[in-house]
Amino acid sequence: MMNVFEAIETPIFSIEDLRKIFKTELSLLQAKKKMYGRDPYEEQIKAVETIKGLIEQAFMERRNKL
């Protein structure tokens, strides 16, 4: 079993994997919002987009340092 410090050194997911996961999650939430038209889905979409943006920003900063 991997601990937190090992996970920091050895990422489990690549950035491409994370992009696919976020794209899938956003597609699912947008479909649910369209189908049901409820506000909670809008809040979830915003949260996922925010997290996606933060991860992209962190990846770019790390890449620039290398």
pLDDT in tens, 14-62: 888 888 999 999 999 999 999 988 788 899 999 999 999 998 888 888 7
Beta-carbon count within 10 A of 26 CB: 15
Rounded-to-integer distance, Cα 24 and Cα 20, Å: 6
* Per-residue tokens: 28: 């699912």
Burial zone of 30 (CB within 10 Å; 0-12 exposed, 13-18 middle, 19+ buried)? middle
Let me know: does 59 contact 15? Beta carbons within 8 Å: yes
The residue whose two tokens read 């994997």 is 17
Q: What is the pTM of this model?
A: 0.70
